Amino acid sequence: MQVIRKIDELRRVLEKYRRAGQRIGLVPTMGYFHEGHLSLIDAARKQAEIVVVSLFVNPTQFGPNEDLDRYPRDFERDERLARERHTDILFYPDVAEMYPDSFYTYVITEKLSRVLCGKSRPIHFRGVTTIVAKLFNIVQPDVAVFGRKDAQQAIIIRKMVRDLNFPVRIIVAPIVREADGLAMSSRNRYLTETERQQAPVIFRALQEAADLVKEGERDAIRIKDRIRRKIETAPLAKIEYIEIISPDNLSAVSTIDQKGVFAAVAVWFGKTRLIDNMVLLA
């Protein structure tokens, strides 16, 4: 595995592979790898001969009072894990490389970036789409893999790719969960022991919702209510939102009658904001 820190060098190296007819897969990450990230690397490997993992804690997707400074970082551990998973190139630029002094250009996916998480994190998706567009231009991958845990992010990126004609295929890999159901996230490490014990209530609530739909329930209000009541059994949980969402345009639905409709939630445990989602009608 090569660790590359400069855009020019990465381009030079990738050009050789591209000329040799090898397909390039990109896994954009912010590091502090867990099994969820590693499953994205595996998914990329199935589609491409050369797997590039980018590791960059992207400042533009953090709001002024968010956790940019304390976001977990451990380059040595990430490097080892990426190597063990047969990554070919770990792209690890610094902030000045990605955002030189005068940086004025952003990519915004209107509408979709203002709902759900975008309501409380108004600049978040602008930062995500900007850095992902930059990575697409730098790496020019044939495929790029994102995790389903960030369902809104994945849908926004697919839309950006269509709207701006990026010649890249987007793959969305399933959520990887801990044994008790908590969706893996680098931010789980912020949880105190008691918060960590209570956090799997999110998964159980989503599962109850999916079971209700299997039994024939189609009313979004009743399903949201069931999710809310279940999550509220955890004394430390503070719900930010629970929505039943259309996968087409991220709009809230009142009836579950379309394939791919999913429940999406954001819940605070103390200072930690967790998100999760589950498809209700497969």
Query: Which residues have a catalytic role annotated?
Result: 37
116 near ligand PAF, rule: CB under 6 A: no
28 near ligand PAF, rule: CB under 6 A: yes
170 near ligand PAF, rule: CB under 6 A: no
Q: Which two tokens stand for residue 236?
A: 């430390």
- Which one, 88 or 150, has the nearer CB to ligand PAF? 150
Residue 182, classed as helix, strand or coil, is coil
172 Cβ contact partners less than 8 Å away, ≥ 6 residues apart:
145, 146, 147, 148, 154, 158
Binding residue for ligand PAF (CB under 6 A) from 52, 53, 128, 227?
Answer: 128
- CA distances in angstroms from 28 to 103, 170, 246, listed in the order given: 21, 12, 25
How far is it, in rounded angstroms, from Cα 273 to Cα 7? 33
Which residue type is seen at 34?
H
- Which one, 28 or 182, has the nearer CB to ligand PAF? 28
* Region of 140 on the Ramachandran plot (φ > 0 left; ψ -120 to 50 alpha; else beta): left
How far is it, in rounded angstroms, from Cα 46 to Cα 43? 5
Decide if 134 contacts 98 (C-beta within 8 A): yes
261 near ligand PAF, rule: CB under 6 A: no
58 near ligand PAF, rule: CB under 6 A: yes
Span near ligand PAF by CB under 6 A; candidates 24-32, 108-116, 191-199, 250-258: 24-32
Decide if 239 contacts 272 (C-beta within 8 A): no
**Residue window 61-100: x/- pattern of binding to ligand PAF, with contact defined by CB under 6 A:** x---------------------------------------
Compute φ and ψ for 237, nearest 5 degrees.
Answer: -80, 130
Number of residues counted as binding ligand PAF (CB under 6 A) = 10
CB of 166 to ligand PAF, least distance (A): 14
Binding residue for ligand PAF (CB under 6 A) from 52, 89, 112, 131?
Answer: 131
Instruction: Check residue 203 and report its DSSP letter.
Output: H
CB of 258 to ligand PAF, least distance (A): 26
**Residue window 142-161: x/- pattern of binding to ligand PAF, with contact defined by CB under 6 A:** --------x--x--------
Site residues, ligand PAF (CB under 6 A): 28-30, 58, 61, 128, 131-132, 150, 153
